[in-house]
Amino acid sequence: MNGQERIAPGADELEVMARASLARIPAPFAGHLADVVLLVEEWADDETLDALGIEDPYDLTGLYHGRPVGEKSAFDGIALPDRIHLYRRAILDEWVATGVDLGVLIHHIVVHEVGHHFGLSDEDMHALEAAA
């Protein structure tokens, strides 16, 4: 060992980091996140990958499931809570491949999925990042 090895954190550690990122989301946005469920899983399941047209599970680090805030109505029936899924193995692969700080990477993924919660498309978020 040369002292530069990185130890892959477990799902619990990634969840702590992701919750810290959620806690950094400013008001008034934070108020819309109270009921969003955060899940850290090893991989996206085959059904999810197939639905998105993704062949390689390493290509999906996170996913928002739910209806964006602006599309919700008081007339909606009972539905599952909105969820942000983080996929540990894909995140760790990107972390190793890019050398980006793991906390920065997780924050980026969480903010991206929160953007979907507010109805932003991938293109919208890329444009906002490019403008920042």
Per DSSP bridges, beta strands 37-41 and 62-65 are unpaired
User: What per-residue confidence (pLDDT) applies to 70?
Assistant: 58
Whole-number pLDDT of residue 1: 41
Q: Compute how many other C-beta atoms are within 10 angstroms of the C-beta atom of residue 90.
A: 21
Bridge partners, residue 65, by sequence: 83
Whether omega for the bond prior to residue 28 falls within 30 degrees of 0, making it cis, is: yes
User: In this structure, which topology does domain 11-131 adopt according to CATH?
Assistant: Zincin-like (3.30.2010)
Determine the pLDDT at residue 109. 93
Tens-place pLDDT, residues 98-114: 999 999 999 999 988 88
Read off the pTM. Answer: 0.81
Distance (Å, whole) CA 116 – CA 130: 17
Q: Which residues contact 44 (CB under 8 A, 6 or more apart)?
A: 54, 57, 60, 63, 85, 87, 90
Q: What residue ranges of the chain have pLDDT lower than 70? A: 1-6, 68-79, 128-132
Would you state the pLDDT for residue 131?
Answer: 59
Q: What is the pLDDT of residue 74?
A: 56
The pLDDT of residue 23 is 87
Question: CA of 115: how far to CAs of 19, 64, 75, in Å?
Answer: 16, 9, 24
Give me the residue spans of the domains in the chain: 11-131
